[in-house]
Amino acid sequence: MRSNSAGRQPSGSLTEAARRSQIVSAAVTVLAGRGFAATALSAIAGEIGISKGVISYHFAGKAELLQEVVRHVLQQAAEWMTPRIQGASSYAEALRSYIVANLAYLDEHRAEIIALTEVLANARATPGVEQIFRDSHREAVAALQAILDGGVAAGEFAQLPTRTTAIALRAAIDAATTAMRADPDFELATFGAELAQLYGRVVTR
């Protein structure tokens, strides 16, 4: 019995929002499991036992679906991390929380992250996605830079090229995805701790 307010749903028929969400999830699964090139609409539909037409009905096209995938993952990541980052009593602690929270998210949402990577890698084949990604990345770097700028302004951190540092750190965090995909034994938690330590040294006066 579904927690479905309507109560009476001819099997396979879901509300608009629920269907879209279900399809986005299936897309994530297929992207993560088989890669971008193998992510045909038929594969996504097959994943949840519906016909291709359903996807076309609920999304304007494949591009819109993939945009939705990207939006979904980025939003989920933001929601997941926000509470884990807030409430730091110092900039140093904020920086550490940021790093650790990011890697913890990667650790617990591997499929989403791999799916995201696959779509981003093919951004040019998917109109709209490039922009979403660019905005998101800019935001992420800006947020990180804000912490660094704050720490520097407060005299807690040493003088730093904050933008370059933000980009470099952001890249190091993202690199964990690659490392994790290439090496099954790669430990995200250890990497996160050491990265936090490393950048702790970087910012120390």
- Interface residues with DNA (CB under 7 A)? 10-16, 19, 37-43, 50-54, 56-58, 61-63
Cβ within 8 Å of residue 102, ≥6 positions away: 81, 173, 192
174 binds, among a copy of itself, DNA, none (CB under 5 to 8 A by kind): a copy of itself
| Main-chain dihedrals φ then ψ at residue 68, nearest 5 degrees | -65, -40
Please count the residues of this chain forming the interface with a copy of itself, following the rule CB under 8 A: 40
| C-alpha distances out from residue 58 to 20, 24, 32, 175, Å | 7, 11, 22, 34
Cβ within 8 Å of residue 101, ≥6 positions away: 80, 81, 84, 85
The answer to the question of residue 35 lying near a copy of itself (CB under 8 A) is: yes
For a copy of itself, the binding residues in 158-197 under the rule CB under 8 A are 158, 160-161, 164-165, 167-172, 174-175, 178-179, 182, 190-191, 194-195, 197
Closer to DNA by CB, 20 or 109: give it: 20
Closer to DNA by CB, 54 or 152: give it: 54
- Nearest approach in angstroms of CB 148 to DNA is 41
Percent helix, strand and coil across the chain, each to the nearest 5 = 75, 0, 25
Q: At what angle do helices 91-108 and 162-182 cross, to 10 degrees?
A: 20
Site string for a copy of itself, 108-137 (x = CB under 8 A): ---------xx-xxxxxx--------x--x
131 DSSP 8-state letter: H
- Nearest approach in angstroms of CB 41 to a copy of itself is 14
